Amino acid sequence: MTELSFAKQFLTTLDTKPTKIPADHVEDPRNYPAHSAYILPKMPKPLAKKQKLAPGSERSLDITLKSLRNPPLDITLSSQSPSTSILDLKTAITSQTSIPISTLRLLYKKKPVSDSKVLKDIVSEEEHKAEFSVMVLGVRRLSKRVRKRSFHR
């Protein structure tokens, strides 16, 4: 059988079949091929159970504040309440180093954190330690921002 005769025979066979499936066509679900159930993979570690603390007691966090650039800082604040704000951490840095609060920026996991945030919003419940990076904005850089704001008004 040549390719040409095969193609002609195949096309005539297709012409005898209906081209559209009617709107009332229903396939019997019993004729579908059987599929095995899909099982989800196991989690790498089980979910942590919430620890119930005694009434009136709260978990505490050890906070490490490090500066990656000048001035070099390595401050550890132990036993911080989860309701401690980022502004309170900046105040603690200022009291120890005399760097103005307006020039400090705190980063958690390389992302900036606003002053209004609280530690329990940032740090997960099972963590007992948190490390923040401290950025100290230069006076020159800060004055450029102030100039830009006043110039665009």
14 domain residue, yes or no = no
What per-residue confidence (pLDDT) applies to 9? 92
What per-residue confidence (pLDDT) applies to 150? 39
8 domain residue, yes or no = no
141 domain residue, yes or no = yes
What per-residue confidence (pLDDT) applies to 71? 77
| 68 to 43, 65, 72, 99: CA distances (angstroms) | 35, 10, 7, 16
Domain that holds residue 89: 61-152
Residue in this structure with the two tokens 């900036």, named with its chain if needed: 112
| Number of compact structural domains in the chain | 1
The tens-digit pLDDT sequence of the chain (153 residues) is 689 999 999 999 888 887 677 778 788 878 888 878 888 888 787 776 666 656 556 678 888 988 877 778 888 888 888 888 999 999 998 898 888 888 889 999 889 999 888 988 888 877 888 899 998 887 554 444 444 443 444
Q: Are 76 and 48 in contact (CB under 8 A)?
A: no
6 domain residue, yes or no = no
Query: What residues contact residue 69 under an 8 Å CB cut-off, 6+ apart?
Result: 135, 136
- 108 strand-pairing partners: 111, 132
Q: Are 132 and 66 in contact (CB under 8 A)?
A: yes
| Residue of 82, 89, 131 lying closest to 110 (CA atoms) | 131
121 domain residue, yes or no = yes
